[in-house]
Amino acid sequence: MTSQIPHPAQLPLDFDACYRAISGRDTRWDGRVYLGVTSTGIYCRPSCPARKPAAANCRFFASAAACVAAGFRACKRCRPEAMPGTRDWDIREDLAARAVRRIRDGAIDSAGVGGLAHELAVSERHLHRVLVDEVGASPLQLARSRRAHAARTLIEQTTLPLSDIAFAAGFGSLRQFGDTMREEFGVTPSALPRHADKTAKESTQGGSLSPTGGPSSDERPSLTLQLRTRAPFDVAGIRAFLSAHAIPGRDQISGTHSAHAVDVPGGTAVARIDWSATHEHRGHVLIPLQLALPGLSDTMPAIASIRRMLDLDADPTQISETLGNDPLLAQMIAARPGLRLPGTRNPQEFALGTVLGQQVSLAAARTLQGRLASLFASENPVAAEGFVAAPDVLAVAKTPIVQLREKIGLTEARANTLRAVAAALSEGLNLGHGGDRELARRELLAIRGIGPWSVELIAMRALGDPDAYPAGDLILKKALGTKTERETTLAAEGWRPYRGYATQHLWADFLAAQAERQAR
C-alpha cells in the first residue's frame, strides 16, 4: 500500500512515511517532498532512480529551497528542481501560504523582502521566522531558488547570452547569478548544458526544443519555451475554456493556436500557444509557448501569469484521488483526465468582467468585456500590436454612470456595480494570489450588486482558491440535480479542499458546447 501524500498543512513531515515513499519511488510525492542525502550532499525527488540511501543518511524537506538552505545541491540525474510547482500552498490561507504564493509570483523581485512583509502587514523578522518554521527556508532563499530554476530553464531552452538570462530570471548582478547557480547546482552557469547541446538536453528535459526567436517586427524580445506540467493534461478542456472566455482585444483563438495579452511590469506581452504541438514525455506534458515581451525583465512575470492562467501547477493525481470517491465525479474524471481549473492573468480585469457577466450569456459577456477593454485600456509604455492592455480601474471608477451605460451597454444597476467594484479596486481591494481571501470575500459582498456567485467565481479564478464553490450557479445545480443552494452545498462537502475542480468538471460539458458553437 502506498503512503498518503503529505501537504504543508501536515508539517513536520513524517519520516517513516517519506522513507516508504522513496523506497517505492512513489512519483505522487514528487514536488511535494524532497530527499536530502547527507552522505553525498545531494537532494533528489522521491522517485529518483538512484540506489535508495540508508535511512540514517536521509533528511526530508518541504521545498527545494529548504534543501539548498541546508547545504544540499540538486541531483543531476532526477532533476528535482525541474518539477512543476504545487497548489498545496493554495489550499491554506495562513501567513506562510500567502507569502509562498506571493514569492512564487515574484513579489520579492519587484518589492524586496521588506515590500512583501509590508504587503502582508507583518515585520520582516516575523515573516522570516514563519517561513523558516513552515517551509525550511527564508523569504530570500525561496526567491533565489525561484530565480535559479528559471535561469536553468532559460539556459537549457534558449540561446540567450548568460548575462541576458541573469537579467531575465530576476538576478540583480552577474556575481549574484553565478553564486546562486553554484549554490543550487554545484557548477557555474557556463557549465550547465546549453540549448545547442541536444544530447544533454534530451536526457534531462525531454523532447526537442525550438530555438529562441530574434527580435520581432516591432523589435520586442521574443522567446520560445516549453512549459512543464504534470500529466495528464486535458488539452481539449483548456482550449474549450479559453475559447468560451476569449475577450476581443485581449485574446485571439484560431484553430489549434491561441494568443493572449499578458500584463507585465514593462507593458503588454503576448503569449502564443500551439496546442497541436503539446506532447507528453516521462510523466509530464510540455506546452510550447512563444512570448513577445516588452523587455527581458518581463520574462518571469509573463511565465508566472501563463502558468496561473493554465493551472500548470496542479497535481491531477492528487485531485482525482480526492474527488474520485464520488461516483458522479469519478465518471467525469475518467472522461476528462487532467482537467484544470484556469486562473486569471489579471485579477482586477477579471473582477470587472465578472460584473459584466452577471445574468447574461457567455457570448454577451465577451462582447461587454471587449468594449470595456477597448474603452478603458490602461496607458501602456509598450503596447502589443493587435492587443490592448487590461482596463484601468481608476478610469472606470471616475467615469459617470450615464457614460458607462451608454458606452458599454449596461443597465443602471449594473453600471453602478461596475463603478463600485472599480472604486474598491483602485482604493486597494486585493484580489491577487497573496490576498486575504476571507477579507476579500467580505469586502466584495459589501458592494451593492455583488452576491455569493460573483464572490466565489472571483475567489476561484483571481484569488486562486481551489476550494471556491459558487453553490448558487444554475448550471451547477442542473448537473447535480439539486434545487436549492443549501442542497448544492451539502452535495459538495466530500469534495473539500478541491470543490473548485469539481465545479470545473461539472461545467465542462457546457463549456465544450459553447466552444463548439463559437467555432461554427
Distance of CA 442 to the CA centre of its chain: 24
| Integer Cα distance of 335 and 330 in angstroms | 9
| Integer Cα distance of 234 and 237 in angstroms | 5
C-alpha cell at 353: 468582467
**Is 48 annotated in the active site?**
no
**Is 111 within 8 Å of 147 (Cβ atoms)?**
no
3-state DSSP assignment of residue 258:
strand
Candidate list 90, 105, 234, 473, residue with the active-site label: 473
- Phi/psi at 315 (5° precision): -115, 95
CB-side neighbour CA atoms (13 Å) of 200: 11
Largest CA distance in the chain: 73
β-strand pairing of 251-254 with 257-264: antiparallel
Candidate list 44, 48, 67, 75, residue with the active-site label: 44
**Is 234 annotated in the active site?**
no
* HEC sequence for 233-245: CCHHHHHHHHHHC
3-state DSSP assignment of residue 390:
coil
CB-side neighbour CA atoms (13 Å) of 145: 28
**Is 50 within 8 Å of 25 (Cβ atoms)?**
no
3-state DSSP assignment of residue 296:
helix
Distance of CA 320 to the CA centre of its chain: 19
| Integer Cα distance of 262 and 387 in angstroms | 10
Distance of CA 115 to the CA centre of its chain: 21
C-alpha cell at 331: 465518471
Dihedral angle, C-alpha 97, 100, 104, 108, nearest 10 °: 140
* CB atoms near residue 38 (< 10 Å): 15
- CA angle 384-164-104, nearest 5°? 75
The DSSP-derived string for 409-459 is I--HHHHHHHHHHHHHHHTT---STTS-HHHHHHHHHTSTT--HHHHHHHH
The helix (run of H) or strand (run of E) holding residue 76 is none
**Is 422 within 8 Å of 411 (Cβ atoms)?**
no
Cβ burial 401-416 (10 Å sphere, 16+ → b, else e): eeebbeebebeeebbb
Cβ burial 465-502 (10 Å sphere, 16+ → b, else e): bbbbbbbbbeebbebbebeebeebeebbeebebbbbbb
Distance of CA 146 to the CA centre of its chain: 14
Residues with a known catalytic role: 44, 473
